């Protein structure tokens, strides 16, 4: 079974292990715009980029490969021009870009957990067969993100709850909502690596490090990445 | 950098020094703050001293805390890329709450500041 951590002498929470397994299952399944094989390939190139290996791909569009590398190693310099060029390149679209971002960042986060703790990286999953659903949510609207986002009223209840009281959610929550399933993924890995959206509203949620320590880490990682948000 | 705001709100007035997020020479006032910042720098920068810093975190804060700290680092390696990969602006509430320190911390020099009008 993936993420067994059998050789790791660390008390890793069950929630974290389950979220890592879930992430690998999500990566392997066909999405809305990429096949399972393409999604696993995106995760592979993400991993290569973090090792400064400019790996190539025989199945992804060239613009997708470049976007993965930018997201991983040059994320401080992403801008609207990069986005516009990417989504209009052959084989790309707004929807494919947003799905690619979700796969890159979640795979990266699981890998970074391992790297920070000195644990070998988990082998990437075998892709699952099937075609992408190619369904864009009808409620998607162009708002403040580069890509359209989906309001709470356009989401199924189990995903809409993640927006809390806001119709458009916090900007970082709705950013990947053009692929609505991303909201559940975002929440579950947040709960495992940081706090659940509910815990975020608590002054001192039950964790092994205090809320000020948690937020100091968050702020420092943001600064190292030159992230204004 | 919304979490600088959350760091400030996690203590009483001015309890924590927010500029520690951008200048590790500054004492944040957060217990074990300096070591946690070193852990962030070593992990994000993939520095040669990562194993040494990680061992210090395990020794001084314990294994469970080291796991939580590593998970936090991993989480924000993800979140910054969502924010900047999607070009989102600051939420209105954070924008208002951070007026007093964004310039002070030099955040407007970041390329992604262009996403916030």
**Do the chains contact at B7 and A215, CB–CB below 8 Å?**
yes
Which of B82, B98, B102, B108 to mutate to probe the A interface, most A CBs <10 Å? B82
Q: A166-175: per-residue pLDDT in tens?
A: 999 999 999 9
> In 10 A of CB B113, how many CB atoms?
17
Helices (H) and strands (E) in chain B, counts: 6, 0
Q: Please tell me if residue A27 touches chain B, with a CB cutoff of 8 Å.
A: no
Lowest mean pLDDT among A41-45, A71-75, A97-101, A204-208: A204-208
Nearest to A228 among B1, B37, B79 (CB): B1
**Do the chains contact at B3 and A215, CB–CB below 8 Å?**
yes
Q: Please tell me if residue A101 touches chain B, with a CB cutoff of 8 Å.
A: yes
Share of chain A above pLDDT 90, in %: 92
Judge residue A40's burial from the number of C-beta atoms within 10 Å of its C-beta, 0-12 exposed, 13-18 middle, 19 or more buried: buried
**Do the chains contact at A227 and B82, CB–CB below 8 Å?**
no
**Average pLDDT for chain A:** 96
Confidence label for B104 from pLDDT (cuts 50, 70 and 90): confident
Residues in chain A within 8 Å Cβ distance of B114: 79-80
- Measure the CA–CA gap between A105 and A107, rounded to whole angstroms: 6
Note the pLDDT of residue A211: 92
Note the pLDDT of residue A100: 98
Per the model's pLDDT, the better-predicted residue between B62 and B7 turns out to be B62
Residue B97 has pLDDT above 90, yes or no: no
Comparing CA positions, the residue from B111, B90, B117 lying closest to residue B4 is B90
- Measure the CA–CA gap between A95 and A8, rounded to whole angstroms: 38
Q: Find out whether B16 and B36 touch, Cβ atoms under 8 Å.
A: no
Q: Please tell me if residue A166 touches chain B, with a CB cutoff of 8 Å.
A: no
Q: A199-209: per-residue pLDDT in tens?
A: 887 777 788 89
**Do the chains contact at B74 and A213, CB–CB below 8 Å?**
no
- Measure the CA–CA gap between A164 and A32, rounded to whole angstroms: 25
Tokens of A187: 């929440």
**A196-217 average pLDDT score:** 87
- Measure the CA–CA gap between B21 and B28, rounded to whole angstroms: 8
- Measure the CA–CA gap between A224 and A205, rounded to whole angstroms: 25
Instruction: Give the SS3 label for residue A218.
Output: helix
Note the pLDDT of residue A198: 79
CA separation, residue A90 to residues A35, A83, B21 (Å)? 17, 13, 40
CA separation, residue B49 to residues A58, A108, A179, B41, B63 (Å)? 36, 21, 39, 10, 18
A-to-B residue pairs, Cβ atoms closer than 8 angstroms: 256
Nearest to B79 among A79, A80, A172 (CB): A172
Q: Please tell me if residue A15 touches chain B, with a CB cutoff of 8 Å.
A: no
- Measure the CA–CA gap between B82 and B73, rounded to whole angstroms: 15
Which of A84, A205, A223, A226 to mutate to probe the B interface, most B CBs <10 Å? A223
Residues in chain B within 8 Å Cβ distance of A87: none
Per the model's pLDDT, the better-predicted residue between A206 and A10 turns out to be A10
Note the pLDDT of residue A202: 79
Residue A188 has pLDDT above 90, yes or no: yes
Note the pLDDT of residue A192: 95
- Nearest Cα residue in chain B from A172: B83
> In 10 A of CB A15, how many CB atoms?
14
Residues in chain B within 8 Å Cβ distance of A207: 68
Q: What residue segments make up the domains of chain A, in order of their start?
A: 14-197
């Amino acid at each position: 079974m993936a993420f067994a951590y059998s050789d790791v002498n660390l008390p890793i929470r069950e929630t974290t292990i389950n979220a890592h397994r879930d992430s690998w299952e999500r990566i392997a399944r066909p999405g809305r715009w990429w096949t399972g094989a393409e999604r696993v390939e995106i995760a592979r190139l993400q991993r290569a980029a973090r090792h400064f290996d400019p790996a190539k791909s025989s199945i992804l569009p060239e613009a997708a490969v470049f976007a993965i590398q930018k997201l991983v190693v040059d994320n401080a310099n992403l801008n609207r021009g990069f986005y516009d060029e990417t989504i209009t390149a052959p084989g790309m679209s707004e929807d494919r870009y947003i799905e690619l971002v979700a796969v890159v960042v979640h795979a990266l986060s699981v890998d970074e957990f391992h790297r920070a703790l000195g644990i070998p990286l988990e082998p990437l999953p075998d892709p699952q067969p099937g075609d992408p659903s190619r369904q864009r949510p009808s409620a998607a609207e162009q708002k403040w993100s580069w890509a359209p986002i989906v309001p709470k009223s356009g989401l199924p209840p189990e995903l809409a709850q993640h927006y809390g009281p806001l119709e458009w959610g916090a900007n970082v929550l709705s950013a990947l909502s053009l692929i609505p399933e991303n909201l559940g993924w975002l929440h579950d890995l947040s709960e495992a690596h940081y706090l659940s959206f509910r815990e975020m509203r608590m002054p001192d949620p039950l964790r092994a490090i205090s809320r000020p320590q948690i937020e100091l880490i968050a702020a420092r990682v943001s600064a190292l990445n030159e992230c204004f948000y | 950098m919304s979490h600088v705001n959350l760091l400030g709100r996690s203590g009483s007035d001015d309890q924590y020094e927010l500029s520690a997020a951008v200048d590790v020479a500054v004492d944040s006032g957060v217990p074990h703050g300096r070591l946690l910042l070193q852990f962030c720098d070593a992990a994000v920068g993939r520095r040669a001293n990562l194993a040494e810093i990680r061992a210090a975190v395990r020794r001084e804060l314990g294994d469970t805390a080291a796991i939580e700290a590593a998970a936090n680092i991993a989480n924000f390696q993800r979140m910054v890329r969502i924010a900047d990969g999607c070009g989102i602006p600051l939420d209105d509430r954070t924008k208002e709450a951070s007026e007093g320190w964004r310039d002070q911390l030099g955040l407007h020099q970041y390329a992604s500041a262009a996403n916030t009008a």
